[in-house]
Amino acid sequence: MTRRRLHIGCNALLALVGATALCQAETPSQGDRGPHDYPTSARVEYVQECMLKHGGELSYLYKCSCVIDRIAGELAYDDFVEWGTYARNATLAGERGGVFRDSDEARDSAKRYRAVEAEASKACGLATP
């Protein structure tokens, strides 16, 4: 049991070190990128969150990377940020969450994001988040 915990801890540390190195890489300014060229830091954040949702196992690195690559192929970066924000914050309680769930635009954006993410997850062999 201790050996397994140590192994998981090493995997998490390895992923964290790799993500830190990628985050510090120089990212081109918005004007230098195409609409589907996401900043490295955004891709790393997505992969880290995805891996955590699936138990933090290093084996999900490739599947989660595949998902963000497919999402980037479908959505412009600005849409990814906007729609993803609506989808993630739709469950906030009270007035703060109302902005992310009560308007037609918010519901539609969240729905479209979830559909693109689900399709990408399926194509990459990952259970739908």
Cα 102 to chain center, whole Å?
A: 23
Helix axes 77-89, 60-74, angle to 10 degrees: 120
The stretch 97-115 carries a mean pLDDT of: 80
Per-domain boundaries in the chain: 2-25+36-123
* pLDDT of amino acid 114: 94
Helix axes 77-89 and 94-101, enclosed angle (nearest 10):
140
The rounded distance, in Å, linking the Cα atoms of 62 and 51 is 10
List, in order, residues 6 or more apart from 42 with CB less than 8 Å away: 77, 80, 81
d(CA 82, CA 58): 28
pLDDT category at 37 given cuts 50, 70, 90 is: confident
Q: How many of the other CB atoms lie within 10 Å of CB of 105?
A: 10
Residue pLDDT, tens place only, 52-93 = 999 888 889 999 999 999 999 999 999 999 999 888 877 777
pTM: 0.68
Within the chain, residue ranges assigned H as helices are: 2-23, 40-53, 60-74, 77-89, 94-101, 104-123
User: Is the CB of residue 84 less than 8 Å from the CB of residue 111?
Assistant: no
